[in-house]
Structure 1
């Protein structure tokens, strides 16, 4: 009787997809922000878009966790659902953190390395969205293979971001004479690289789910 009082499946996959869309929305807004950094009005507009994406993603995360407590039978393991949605939320939180840090630190210029890392972050986020979209179709062999391939692409992009970070740090400590600028840029570089790290965390979770359901 108790089981009949609770939803049996919920709309977890739809919520995952909606959250993935907000991750990409935030990452695209951040990329636009750094690409148009010299235009203060555009910078403010894109910063607001990052905030809106993060707030919307938070609401979806809250809804997933609420639904998790109300659903009797979940489509995948409860711990996997909880870990996945919270790891996804970490990504968009970091995008917002990077946006806020650039404003709080009064960053005056955007380096090529910031542009490179923002581009890699967006590519990672787009692949996270794609991998998440395949979870509802894991019974299909093509979806299973596509999810694993996408997770491998995220791993490669994370390695690319690591290389950009190492090169950026080396250049920064060799060439930046202004200590304040060095501190600012170091913090931004590390935040942006951590976005790809969190995307890799999500990819590892998805790989585990895929392998479990293969």
Structure 2
């Protein structure tokens, strides 16, 4: 009896693609929160819903891994990608949650630039994950997208160090220092996790493309 594994492969890639769309949506919500603080309460509701759907997708991926005899990629690679994508959404939720809880003041230009980088990373992560569905054909584009993400993470690190240094040098309000320090850590972690996704994808390309 012949077994057709292709539909299972397509479902794996499709599910990861759905997950990456939620990552991109989450980065848009964060960008909007930084751009307009008055939207934060409504954006908090939206990110909660995004996280709920993302958690359901992770459960579906784990169930597929458990049931599928042959997966289109190494099971560990699939799990790692799903986990990192979910971590990005969780970290974005934590940042927006703190913005609402702390009733933050106006973000600095560097923080706005970090939000812009996160937005761009979200778009590149989505495109890169979609490229997995035709990895051999999309190999060069996929690698280029990964390099863009890595470059943006490096720029984000610079902004993080500069802003954190300025915060401790110039801010005289200890509570305000704590507020922005925690949010900055969240923003930097989102970029780090995006780089982790890019690094994982580069390994996948080496293995399978």
TM range (shorter): over 0.9
The answer to whether structure 1 residue 73 and structure 2 residue 70 are counterparts is: yes
CA-CA distance at 1:27 after TM superposition: 1.0
Deviations 1:153-210 (A, max 9, x none): 0000000100100110121111101011011111111110110100000111100001
Separation in 2, partners of 1:139, 1:149:
14
Query: What is the number of equivalent residue pairs in this alignment?
Result: 206
Separation in 2, partners of 1:22, 1:75:
22
CA-CA distance at 1:8 after TM superposition: 5.0
In structure 2, the gaps of 5 or more residues are: none
Separation in 1, partners of 2:174, 2:162:
18
Do the aligned residues in 1 keep the contact of 2:131 with 2:142 (CA within 8 Å)?
A: yes
The answer to whether structure 1 residue 204 and structure 2 residue 190 are counterparts is: no
CA-CA distance at 1:34 after TM superposition: 1.7
Separation in 1, partners of 2:52, 2:118:
19
In structure 1, the gaps of 5 or more residues are: none
Runs of 4+, deviation exceeding 3 Å:
7-10
Residue in 1 aligned with 2:26?
26
Deviations 1:135-154 (A, max 9, x none): 110121xx000011100000
Residue in 2 aligned with 1:90?
87
Whichever structure has more helix as a proportion of its residues is: 2
The answer to whether structure 1 residue 183 and structure 2 residue 181 are counterparts is: no
Cα distance change on mapping 1:10 and 1:145 into 2, 3 Å: closer
Separation in 2, partners of 1:62, 1:29:
23
CA-CA distance at 1:44 after TM superposition: 1.4
Please report the TM-score for the alignment, with normalisation by the length of structure 2.
Answer: 0.93
Secondary structure of 2:136's counterpart equals: coil
Do the aligned residues in 2 keep the contact of 1:91 with 1:199 (CA within 8 Å)?
A: yes
Aligned match for 2:155, one of 140, 152, 160:
160
Do the aligned residues in 2 keep the contact of 1:117 with 1:192 (CA within 8 Å)?
A: yes
Separation in 2, partners of 1:210, 1:86:
18
Cα distance change on mapping 1:212 and 1:199 into 2, 3 Å: same
Separation in 2, partners of 1:88, 1:28:
15
Please report the TM-score for the alignment, with normalisation by the length of structure 1.
Answer: 0.91
Separation in 2, partners of 1:136, 1:123:
21
Output aligned runs, 1:1-214, within 5 Å: 9=9, 11-37=11-37, 39=38, 42-140=39-137, 143-214=138-209
